[in-house]
Amino acid sequence: MVRLLTTKVETYKNYIDGSWVNSGNQQTFKSVNPSNKNEVVGVFQASTEEDVSVAIDAAAKAFPEWSKTSPSKRAAILSKAADILESRLDQIASELTREEGKPIGASKGEVSRSAQTLRYYAISGQNMTGNTFVNDDQNMKVTTEREPLGVVSVITPWNFPLSIPARKIAPALITGNTVVFKPSSDTPLIAYRLVEALHEAGMPKGVINFVTGSSRDVGSLLITHPAIRAVTFTGSTGAGENIHRQASLTTRTQMELGGKNPLIIMEDADIGLAATLTVNGGFSLTGQACTGTSRVIVMKEVKERYIEALVEKTKALKIGDGFEEGVTIGPLANEKQLRNVLKYIEIGKEEGATLIYGGEQLSEGKYKDGYYVVPAIFTNVKNEMQIAQEEIFGPVIAVIEASDYEEAIKIANDVEYGLSASIVTNNMKYAHQFTKDIQAGTVKVNRTTTGNLLNAPFGGIKNSSTSTYRESGTEGLDFFTQTKTVYIGY
């Protein structure tokens, strides 16, 4: 992969009512490369509530016509946008690595998956049907119809800056809603590319609107404006709780939030597989995934063998710029993330856990201008420790010993989160029982805690989600529609 060279820093605009426009206050902010904080990826609009209000008004104005547009026409636009993304795969993947930091292979995978998501909803959205109900009146027909809600706010994070917006925006649009989209200020360029593709694919004006800027400045109106019928958000639990509190009684919310995901390793487990799953789930994407493995609960009789294998595989990881050949661990996304991870590493030491590998910031030579940290492994962790209870969102793994399956389940469930969980075992009894006992919305056996199919529902329980509507799959359409029951007599 040849890194695309840039010679000029471009200023990118908001997209409102079918036009690319500057913020009303003419203020901007910079997006920088986390591998090299001195490299500016782009300049973006520091929007105000007035900009958001104009965007919402445009979406509300466009809704009646778009909601009546045939599903096949909506689908054709999504499919064309998917074609555009794929035709620019190398360019967008390169920009994604520059802006977010993940290795180029992962970036290319995200672009491809996002295109697949658009196509998936272009097809599945045309298959939505209501129900017909049997009744005693032979001169009456009773059915249900599914209708779009109206204007939807889409607020997304920086860790999957293309695939998460795609899996929210595509089902919203195919079901006839209009959208106001605010991405993370750490990754606005990749979000811009998605909107650009939809624009070039022929999206009518006002149907998709895009505003960048600080959540402090524009976030509240995206939730409280009377025209907003639904808010879909992915991010921290604290931010999600704040959004949920602000939303009115008649505004739907879909919150996919934090996780503290366990991987249980039983005494019969393949230790090599267990170590590989830990590294892939906990350290890939620099630990910056809500489903990332952050706790490993291992049976005491295999603990030493497992730790030895884990450290060996972790040492083999190559840390660096995502464009560098063989790099598997990129930088953290920003300085705030770096400071947060380093803070928790110190907390772990202070709490009495043993840091057996990593945890130090890399700041010399090729690392000096990036946000790099060596993946950290803690042992002798007690489940009441902060590093075992709180989401770190970085490459830090806490290894906790258990004496049997029952204790492992008790430890795994003893957190406020319930997003993803996995077990490594060759015992089918353990495997089946685990799927029933674990408190998580995504449950796996002999697989990483990370990753989900685009055609399968995704979401958490407890403080990992509002537990209302799932994302992804055909269930991802439900959030964006409401049911109308129709009685026709004749």
Q: Is the pLDDT of residue 484 over 90?
A: yes
The tokens 């965007």 sit on which residue? 55
Amino acid, res. 39? E
pLDDT of residue 8: 81
Q: What is the pLDDT of residues 236-264, one digit of tens each?
A: 999 999 999 999 999 999 999 999 999 99
Rg over alpha carbons for the chain, rounded to the nearest Å, is 23
| Percentage of the chain lying above the pLDDT 90 cut | 97
Q: Is the pLDDT of residue 4 over 90?
A: no
pLDDT of residue 63: 98
Q: Cβ contacts of residue 461 below 8 Å, gap of 6+?
A: 418, 419, 439, 440, 441, 467
Amino acid, res. 396? V
- pLDDT, mean of residues 87-112: 98
Strand-pairing partners, residue 153, are 180, 231
333 closest CA partner among 287, 283, 291: 287
122 closest CA partner among 166, 158, 154: 166
Neighbouring CB atoms inside 10 A of 414's CB total 14
- pLDDT, mean of residues 192-217: 97
Q: Is the pLDDT of residue 6 over 60?
A: no
Averaged pLDDT score across all residues of the chain: 96
pTM equals 0.95
Separation CA 349–CA 345 (nearest Å): 7
Tell me how many helices (H) and strands (E) the chain has. 15, 23
Separation CA 466–CA 488 (nearest Å): 36
Using a 10 angstrom Cβ sphere, with 0-12 exposed, 13-18 middle and 19 or more buried, the burial of residue 484 is exposed
Our answer to whether residue 391 is catalytic in this structure is no
294 closest CA partner among 281, 277, 284, 307: 281
Q: What is the pLDDT of residues 436-464, one digit of tens each?
A: 999 999 999 999 999 999 999 999 999 99
Q: Is residue 7 very low, low, confident or very high in pLDDT (cuts 50, 70, 90)?
A: low
Check: CB of residue 313 under 8 Å from CB of residue 276.
Answer: yes
The tokens 């990881």 sit on which residue? 317
Q: Is residue 2 very low, low, confident or very high in pLDDT (cuts 50, 70, 90)?
A: very low
pLDDT of residue 33: 98
Our answer to whether residue 290 is catalytic in this structure is yes
**Residue spans of alpha helices (H) in 250-316:** 271-282, 303-315
Check: CB of residue 256 under 8 Å from CB of residue 459.
Answer: yes
Q: How many residues does the chain have?
A: 490
- pLDDT, mean of residues 196-218: 96
pLDDT of residue 467: 79
Q: Is the pLDDT of residue 57 over 70?
A: yes
115 closest CA partner among 85, 90, 93, 92: 85
Q: What is the pLDDT of residues 317-360, one digit of tens each?
A: 999 999 999 999 999 999 999 999 999 999 999 999 999 999 99
- pLDDT, mean of residues 409-415: 98
Sign of CA dihedral 321, 322, 324, 326: positive
Q: Which of 196, 256, 391, 471 is catalytic?
A: 256
Q: Which of 110, 290, 391, 401 is catalytic?
A: 290
Q: Is the pLDDT of residue 1 over 50?
A: no
**Residue spans of alpha helices (H) in 367-471:** 386-389, 405-413, 428-437
Separation CA 289–CA 275 (nearest Å): 18
Q: Is the pLDDT of residue 5 over 60?
A: no
Q: How far is CA 442 from CA 114, 451, 475, in A?
A: 21, 10, 14
Separation CA 225–CA 221 (nearest Å): 5
Amino acid, res. 54? V
Residue 50 belongs to what H/E stretch? helix 49-68
- pLDDT, mean of residues 358-376: 97
The tokens 């808010």 sit on which residue? 231
Q: How far is CA 317 from CA 131, 236, 374, 465, 479, in A?
A: 53, 28, 10, 32, 40
- pLDDT, mean of residues 28-48: 97
Q: What is the pLDDT of residues 104-151, one digit of tens each?
A: 999 999 999 999 999 999 999 999 889 999 999 999 999 999 999 999
Residue 261 belongs to what H/E stretch? strand 261-265
- pLDDT, mean of residues 422-431: 97
- Start-to-end CA distance of the chain, whole Å, equals 66
